[in-house]
Structure 1
Amino acid sequence: MVEKYSLEILDRPDLFYQLINNMTDLVFLTKVNPDKSLSYVILNKPAKDLYGLTNESFGKPIQEVLPKNAYHIVRSKYEEAMENKKPIKYEDMVTVSHLPQSSNKEVIYWESTITPVFNQDGECTHLLAIVRNLTEQREKENEIQRIKDRLELVWNSVADAMFTFDKNQNIVSVNRSFEKLLGWTAEDLVKDKSIIFVPEGEKEDLSKIIERVKSGETVTNHEVKRITKSGEIIYFLGSFSPLYNQNGDWDGGVVAYKDITERKKYEDMLKQLALHDPLTGLPNRTYFSQSLKIEMDKAKCSKTLLSVFVLDIDHFKNINDTYGHDIGDEVLKEFVERVKSALRKNDIMARIGGDEFVILVPDLKEKTNVIEIAERIKQCLSSVWQVGITRFQITSSIGIAFYDYPFNLDDKVLFKYADLALYEVKVEGRNNYKIYEDIGTG
């Protein structure tokens, strides 16, 4: 039945032309003439419409009916098919005008399949060309490529360091800012699966963030530290976003790092200024009070001994009045350096006023330890001082109080007791130290 129907089609040219004219593909049947010239035998309607051909075009050499540029391409491909004696396929781009002398031109992309037809003597008598219009497909592909190019331009133009990773947490790509700020290339990181730019202490935090990203969460403004290829630490605000494949399944993530290293330095500087004395570099009263409360809690929990020293420079006002504040400032700085040399590593010295200082002495094994420290302070101050061309003999008065069992003092009372002991030293003539317990209970 099928064969009979097929034969009927061949016997009915009108039906045959109806079929090929309804095809969206272009059909060209070209005759190879004895002189090797080429002329069209059959063209379907889409093929005619492409170059504006008519029935009068049949039988003429194709160079007379085709645009010059199109003819050269067609001729070379037809010759290639005849020489190879088998079908060939190629793609081409053609610019056409719908109206003569029109500047409105259209670019059309074609995929052509040319099949040579041979007679019994092995001579090529005809060439069948089926041409498919790929313009819509190529335009979509070109648009996708344009979008990719734009995204790549943005990707490599942003100041933030960025990278992507796959669902196995392997690095896929990094942008230029990442390479510039951190020094690592994508090739470096693909080879090294340890995520070498993340410090060991931050890797657990990163794993927790990735688990959140896996669940579809976007994590923003997360402060992190990262290591450059040269070993420098950089502070970033990180934003972590999930990526999905075409099925909607989690497929990795993209990370953006905003460099906040300078901001961190500025914040640290502000903290330094807020909690430290700008002249001597010592902690100030606020820092000392915070540290004292912390150490008092530790001492109470561990049942250990703690002490506070309050000290000042004897007759410091006379130095300022006689020699000026510049010399006075130098004396203060020298005083700090000498006293610090007498302290233990964990002791904290702070400046709380003009020439007023406090010392926090934690983790004492016994009360006699403070006497050793006080004696060392007296000793380190005893040698003659030289500030510029001026020589001084500097002494200090020291009041000491203990925080020990039953640990029922607060920080203000403890400080008050040390200050009362200092007052007693001044009453008795200065240049000495006294423990609050030795002057009574109040």
Structure 2
Amino acid sequence: MNYENVVTSQRVLMEGIQNMLFVIKVDSNFTYEFLNRAAMEGTGLNQDVLGKPIDEVYPDAPATFLYEQYRKAVSSRKVTTYEDSYMSPKGFLSFSETTLTPLFDNKENCTHIVAVVKDITNEKWAESEIKKSKDILLENKQKYQSLYDYNLDAIITIDLNGNITATNLAAESISQFSSAEVTGTSFKSYVIPEHIELVNERFQLAAGGTSQQLRMAITNKSGNKMNIIAKFTPIITNNKVTGIYGIYKDITEQENTLRQLKESEELFRIIAENASDLITLLDKRGQIIYVSPSYKDILGFDNEEYENKHFLHNVYKDDQEMINDGISTAVKDRKPCKLKFRQLNNAGDWIWSELTGTPVYDELNNFNHMVVLTRDITFQKEYEARLRYVAMHDALTGLPNRRFFNEQITKAVDSFNDKKDGLAVLMIDIDYFKTINDTFGHDIGDLVIEEFGKRISGCIRDDDMAARLGGDEFVILLHGVGAKVNATSIAEKVFTCMRDVWNFGGTALEVTTSIGIAVAPLEGTTELQLLKNADLALYEAKESGRNKYKIKG
């Protein structure tokens, strides 16, 4: 076989390799001698690069990196492998694993390097998604554990054999048993004998997948009988019941009080005068004919200030129609109604309340009056708001998290496409944050993250939003950006804020940042395109030396 045929065979073989393949001639500049079809398709290069040195094909930063890798392979005289990232011809960030194999002539001089580049983009994204999923799972687990442990209702976890596997603090308080004392024992052993049959029946129904609620009694550690309302809720995993939550509320005191009140001829009035909730009687027209003394304690108004007035007179304006409709429906359907609304107290505050309205009919089944029980749910509303805040904000910085940001950018893009009033995204991360963590430890790293969030928050306008996406990734959403200069001015303010001294307990740091700016085009703006452009701009800022910003759009 002559030399020409050998060369042809080698080229055919190399062209058939699916991975990107480059043959680099080892000379003073490392010049391209061959690249296969996969290499041209993957990088956008073509035959024009043959005979050219690396620094004529790539910009300074990538070229310097490649020179370093090739020189390492030549000097070590061994096969070397490294990972890299690059922009594909389609404009996507891709990741690769490159194997450099040095070739030697009969004098043991390295004459060529064969570079085989394997695309590992999918593997990298998969690793990233797995890590994010694990982080979210851990965060949700911690939130659930906190909700379980500190719930005001007593909660015990029971396996399908009826044995207790865990209890919360409220359960320990009611039963007087520690979690260690009851774990592994049958929960039925604490139920009074006359309720065992009912408890068995309801527990089996819950084990079949249906929540159950019942009144029962247990014996605490001191031997005292405790009256409780119990709810058995199935724990369902992969569509299979794997256990039961027992949720208990101690009603011993309430039942004792009710039993005593039932013995009184003045039942209704005694209940009303001693109730902590608001009790109101309404006539057919919605006029108040009676209010309980608890109105004074809860709302600060005397009884006389309510009687003979319409029930809606101190209800928040936006809630009045809902209350009126709810009560009318209750009367029509002959069923109680439950409604949440805001009403005014004597201090001039609107407090959240929940009412249960029960229509009462006379002996001819004509509607007579409405009994309304109302309780203050301000703390419940605050707790719900707190839960939403925790779900939507980063625990370390207090900034909105990725979930909240995704909601807001969707709204912002919809508004922009409607009004065309300008929109921009600044994608930001901390330069060399990993080095800070590795050098000074994670405690200092957390302080840097926290301080970084404070500083960028101080650089934005009232209508804008800064968020932490995770790690050292932050983002700023700018509304009403009339021109690119408005977005870049925010970036300049961020750089200015970073120049102030960073000092943590005697540890002085110099912290810089890189920023990618994406300004929304007038037509066809989507969240995906905006974020993609910001990511690309950030990549360019980092590749150009960091502590800079780049802009797209």
With the shorter chain as reference, the TM-score category is 0.5 to 0.7
Q: Which residue of 1 aligns with 2:380?
A: 263
Deviations 1:197-246 (A, max 9, x none): 42233233323334334535545332222232223443232212224456
Q: Which residue of 2 aligns with 1:304?
A: 421
* Structure-to-structure mapping, 1:280-319, within 5 angstroms: 280-319=397-436
CA contact (8 A) 1:401 1:418 kept: yes
Q: Whose relative contact order is higher, 1 or 2, with alpha carbons under 8 Å and at least 6 apart?
A: 1
Q: Structure 1: any 5+ residue segments left out of the alignment?
A: 1-144, 438-442
CA contact (8 A) 1:189 1:195 kept: no
Larger Rg: 1
Q: Displacement, 1:316?
A: 1.7
Distance of 2:508 and 2:537 partners within structure 1: 30
Residue 415 (1) aligns with residue 531 (2): yes
* Structure-to-structure mapping, 1:244-259, within 5 angstroms: 244=361, 248-259=365-376
Distance of 2:311 and 2:289 partners within structure 1: 14
* Structure-to-structure mapping, 1:35-434, within 5 angstroms: 149-190=266-307, 195=312, 197-244=314-361, 248-409=365-526, 411-434=527-550
CA contact (8 A) 1:213 1:253 kept: no
CA contact (8 A) 2:466 2:477 kept: yes
CA contact (8 A) 1:164 1:172 kept: yes
Q: Structure 2: any 5+ residue segments left out of the alignment?
A: 1-261
Count residues in correspondence: 292
Deviates more, 1:185-194 or 1:364-373: 185-194
Distance of 2:334 and 2:422 partners within structure 1: 50
Distance of 1:216 and 1:152 partners within structure 2: 28
Q: CA RMSD in A?
A: 2.5
SS in 2 for 1:352: strand
Q: Displacement, 1:261?
A: 2.5
Q: Displacement, 1:192?
A: 5.9
Distance of 2:359 and 2:338 partners within structure 1: 15
SS in 2 for 1:394: coil
Distance of 2:436 and 2:338 partners within structure 1: 53
Deviates more, 1:291-300 or 1:320-329: 320-329
Distance of 1:204 and 1:235 partners within structure 2: 16
SS in 1 for 2:474: strand
The one-letter amino acid paired with 2:462 is K
SS in 1 for 2:450: helix
CA contact (8 A) 1:171 1:186 kept: no
Q: Displacement, 1:163?
A: 0.8
Deviations 1:310-336 (A, max 9, x none): 101112222222222222222222212
Distance of 1:178 and 1:322 partners within structure 2: 62
SS in 2 for 1:364: coil
Structure-2-length-normalised TM-score: 0.49
CA contact (8 A) 1:167 1:250 kept: yes
Structure-1-length-normalised TM-score: 0.60
Deviations 1:39-77 (A, max 9, x none): xxxxxxxxxxxxxxxxxxxxxxxxxxxxxxxxxxxxxxx
- Calculate percent identity across the aligned residue pairs: 35
Distance of 1:412 and 1:360 partners within structure 2: 14
Q: Displacement, 1:196?
A: 5.1
Q: Displacement, 1:195?
A: 4.8
Q: Displacement, 1:174?
A: 1.5
